[in-house]
Chains A and B, each alone.
Chain A
């Protein structure tokens, strides 16, 4: 396959994801089975094409990379063994590192709040992660009823479960999760 010159994006994505993006032949089977395609601004097969073409800006600012649900249907069905899911992960990483993540989806803020909580305690503390997420997105009143019901059932604990070895977890998350620009 001919490699297109003039862009480092395909190389970067291949290095981060381990996927051979130039193997994609645009059959669009990934898009056909994608449960989130109806809500995406760029379809899964188009994402791979844009990576091949080095269109970093369009991809890294897209909503689609944050709307992917990581269901892996594309990866399971691609006849060329390309995983869009893993390419999307690499795009998310670059998008956050470059401060280009689309915040209107709420997903970058949610992931950040979740990981910050894990970095602090070694385990996820749902109440804290959701609280921080709501503060960042100002979506204070979403799911209030649901939250209260779960709290009453004893499913949302007030205090985090802390692990002993949490320094290691903090190091993992802080050293290699890009930035907290979200």
Chain B
């Protein structure tokens, strides 16, 4: 059974607690063992690296070293935590000596060769897990076509994250197809939603969110599916809905996987009203 150390990050215990809950539920159902890092700290996110590279290095490295002490590869479901933590691990693995020395000084502990840092999607794509997923009978879902939204921090910068193809990632699309869903080909799957500005620059962010939502709708998406708590909150709360339109639901990949695995919507934090199948637009005679 694959075992990992687990870094939930601040969002999953607060503003995105349904992502945290559904991560734990799905990993349990798939036999993936997660052990939460003891005494983990905030990765600093955009505010950390905006202050200085040292702050970002040291905040990220502390968590990497906690996982390294446990001897377990580290998994993070939040794309921002994953990005900052993996970059700190890259510094520990191949950074120059002065940069590592500064991390050791700030942390007050020696640094060492780090364990690997993975995003949750990479864990689901692990051969053993993918096989287990592929072998399961999946429950039918209330929608048939979804848009996988990757955003920024999973795929960029590619030389740091090395996650999939940065311009046309497919990792999440493949998982969604295993759930019996059709996935959209669309243009905004890796465009920025502006989440880091959601509070100070909400008017600019409305423009970015609107472009993404409109393109997903035009591609026929009934849900948007993400693997980032910042994207989910931003796309959900900054979405402008025109008169007579339904909001486009934005779900976490773990919620969709969980539903397909037959877990209860409640345990995954999926609102009950999303489980009512909608009449497909085509059935009423009209096209999209």
Is A50 interfacial (CB-CB < 8 Å)? Answer: no
Docked Cα-Cα span, A176 to B55, in Å, equals 6
Nearest CB in chain A to that of B192: its residue: A71
B58 CB to nearest chain A CB (Å)? 4
A73-B156, A107-B197, A115-B44 as given contacts; A156 in contact with B14, CB under 8 Å: yes
B48 proximity list for chain A (CB < 8 A): 115, 118
Docked Cα-Cα span, A175 to B105, in Å, equals 11
Cβ-defined contact, A177 with B55, below 8 A: yes
Q: Which among B201-209, B245-253, B259-267 touches the partner chain? A: B201-209
Is A146 interfacial (CB-CB < 8 Å)? Answer: yes
A123 proximity list for chain B (CB < 8 A): 10, 41-42
Docked Cα-Cα span, A62 to B262, in Å, equals 52
B51 proximity list for chain A (CB < 8 A): 92-93, 96, 111, 115, 173, 176-178
Docked Cα-Cα span, A163 to B191, in Å, equals 35
Docked Cα-Cα span, A111 to B42, in Å, equals 14
A105 CB to nearest chain B CB (Å)? 6
Over the window 124-165 of chain A, the binary record of Cβ atoms lying under 8 Å from chain B Cβ atoms (1 yes, 0 no) is 101000100100010000110010001000111100010111
Cβ-defined contact, A163 with B40, below 8 A: yes
A175 proximity list for chain B (CB < 8 A): 106
Is A67 interfacial (CB-CB < 8 Å)? Answer: yes
Is B283 interfacial (CB-CB < 8 Å)? Answer: no
**Residues of A66-95 contacting chain B, CB below 8 A:** 67, 69-73, 75-76, 83, 85-86, 89-90, 92-93
Residues of chain B at interface, number, CB under 8 A: 49
Contact of B204 among A36, A172, A177 (CB under 8 A): A36
B273 proximity list for chain A (CB < 8 A): none
A70 proximity list for chain B (CB < 8 A): 46, 49-50, 152, 196
B153 proximity list for chain A (CB < 8 A): 72
Nearest CB in chain B to that of A95: its residue: B50
A75 proximity list for chain B (CB < 8 A): 156-157
B37 CB to nearest chain A CB (Å)? 10
A161 CB to nearest chain B CB (Å)? 6
Is B107 interfacial (CB-CB < 8 Å)? Answer: yes
A32 proximity list for chain B (CB < 8 A): none
Is B62 interfacial (CB-CB < 8 Å)? Answer: yes
27 A-B residue pairs with CB within 8 Å:
A36-B194, A67-B197, A67-B201, A70-B196, A71-B152, A71-B156, A73-B152, A73-B156, A75-B157, A105-B201, A109-B200, A115-B47, A118-B44, A122-B39, A123-B10, A124-B42, A124-B45, A126-B10, A126-B15, A137-B200, A143-B199, A155-B17, A165-B62, A169-B42, A176-B51, A176-B52, A176-B55
Nearest first, the 3 A-B pairs at minimum CB distance are A106-B200, A71-B192, A177-B51
Residue positions of A touching B, CB distance < 8 A: 16-18, 35-36, 38-39, 67, 69-73, 75-76, 83, 85-86, 89-90, 92-93, 96, 105-107, 109-112, 114-115, 118, 122-124, 126, 130, 133, 137, 142-143, 146, 150, 154-157, 161, 163-165, 168-169, 171-173, 175-178
**14 additional contacts, CB 8 Å, given A16-B52, A110-B47?**
A17-B53, A35-B208, A36-B194, A69-B194, A69-B197, A70-B50, A71-B192, A124-B42, A130-B199, A143-B199, A163-B41, A169-B59, A172-B54, A176-B106
